[in-house]
Amino acid sequence: MVLFGQFLEILIGGLLSGVLYSLVALGFVLIFKASGVFNFAQGAMVLLAGLALVRSLDLLVANGFPFWTAIILGLVFAGIIMAVTAWLVERFVLGPLVNQDGLTLFMSTIGATFVLEGASQMIFGSDVYPLRLFPTDAWFLFESSFPGGILVNKLDVWGGLIAGILVAGLAIFFQRTKTGRALRAVADDHAAAQSVGIPISWIWFVVWLVAGLVALVAATVWGTKLGVQFSITFLALKALPVLIIGGFTSIPGAIVGGLIVGAGEKLAEGFLGPHIGGGIEYWFAYVLALAVLLVRPQGLFGERIIERI
């Protein structure tokens, strides 16, 4: 029973921290699906969104704005920054490179990463900025069934909730709106989408904007956990195995992949760690990704490829 309680605690903690990986992977998938671009800059976008939010928040609070007003204004400001970024990327990076091959576009997003990282730190500063949006204390659940109960971080629960709302919102956007439908059309066939009058550059702007807003959501949770700081960009590296496991083109894949990696690495650390030495957490995701690559190269949820008749 004690062991089971420990297992549950690690599993829940792992799943909830995996939500963050899911959020970052989601940003990748959105852009990859719609434009075939592997966006190396997704981690830099989380940093930029976090810095824009925390710095404007601090400034507003220092100038006597009530906390909740400041949060709303801060989120709006960060949202606008992400929109401007999306526009700049479309206008000056992807637009001019239209019809280039995937590798060229990938390289261009590496360039964009450095520009974004440099610019965001130059404008907003390069310290560690604490963000306090969500409670960070813990709950103890099921104290009657397990000795000491199961410890659950409130922040992780908030993260899970917000991610759930975000995914539901994206699902509605993609399935029910005209722009969402156009996005799926572009993801299927650029040229055909253009032939029916869907403006590709507008769609790319919308995709980068949505990915920017997803980055902002990731930044609120991650920033509360560890403070907004440069190391947030390393999140992007964790997203890679998540994408390999879930499949580059699948939104549910990004979510499930993130959860698998989150839960898997925590469980491995908790149960295997004591036997084979710690630090499993740091490489577990990559080994798992390799295993998936060998067995199912398109990932668990990789899109069925429909051959045209």
Partner 1 sequence: MSSANTAAATEQAKPFLSINNIEVVYNHVILVLKGVSLNVPPGGIVALLGANGAGKTTTLKAVSNLLHAERGEVTKGSIVFDGTEVQSLSPNEVVRRGCIQVMEGRRCFAHLTVEDNLMTGAFTRRDGKAAIAADLERVYAYFPRLKERHGSTAGYTSGGEQQMCAIGRALMSRPRMILLDEPSMGLAPQIVEEIFEIVRDLNQKERVSFLLAEQNTTMALRYANHGYILENGRVVMDGEAKALASNEDVKEFYLGVAGDKRKSFRDGKHYKRRKRWLA
Residues that bind partner 1 (CB under 8 A): 98-99, 178, 181-182, 184-185, 187-199, 303, 306, 308-309
What one-character DSSP code corresponds to residue 230?
G
**Nearest-approach distance from CB 299 to partner 1, in angstroms:** 16
When the beta carbons of 2 and 305 are compared against partner 1, the nearer one is 305
Interhelix angle for 200-226 vs 2-35, to 10°? 150
User: How far apart (Å, rounded) are the C-alpha atoms in residues 263 and 271?
Assistant: 12
**Nearest-approach distance from CB 175 to partner 1, in angstroms:** 9
**Nearest-approach distance from CB 86 to partner 1, in angstroms:** 19
User: How far apart (Å, rounded) are the C-alpha atoms in residues 229 and 185?
Assistant: 37
C-alpha distances (whole Å) from 20 to each of 54, 159, 237, 246, 301 are 18, 7, 12, 15, 19
**Nearest-approach distance from CB 109 to partner 1, in angstroms:** 21
When the beta carbons of 100 and 145 are compared against partner 1, the nearer one is 100
When the beta carbons of 137 and 307 are compared against partner 1, the nearer one is 307
Count of Cβ atoms closer than 10 Å to residue 110 Cβ: 13
When the beta carbons of 281 and 303 are compared against partner 1, the nearer one is 303
* 141 beta partners: 150
When the beta carbons of 126 and 177 are compared against partner 1, the nearer one is 177
In 137-250, alpha helices (H):
154-176, 178-188, 190-195, 200-226, 235-246
- Count of CA atoms in the C-beta half-sphere (13 A) of 166: 27
**Nearest-approach distance from CB 214 to partner 1, in angstroms:** 21
41 contacts 113 by C-beta, under 8 angstroms: yes
**Nearest-approach distance from CB 39 to partner 1, in angstroms:** 21
When the beta carbons of 93 and 236 are compared against partner 1, the nearer one is 93
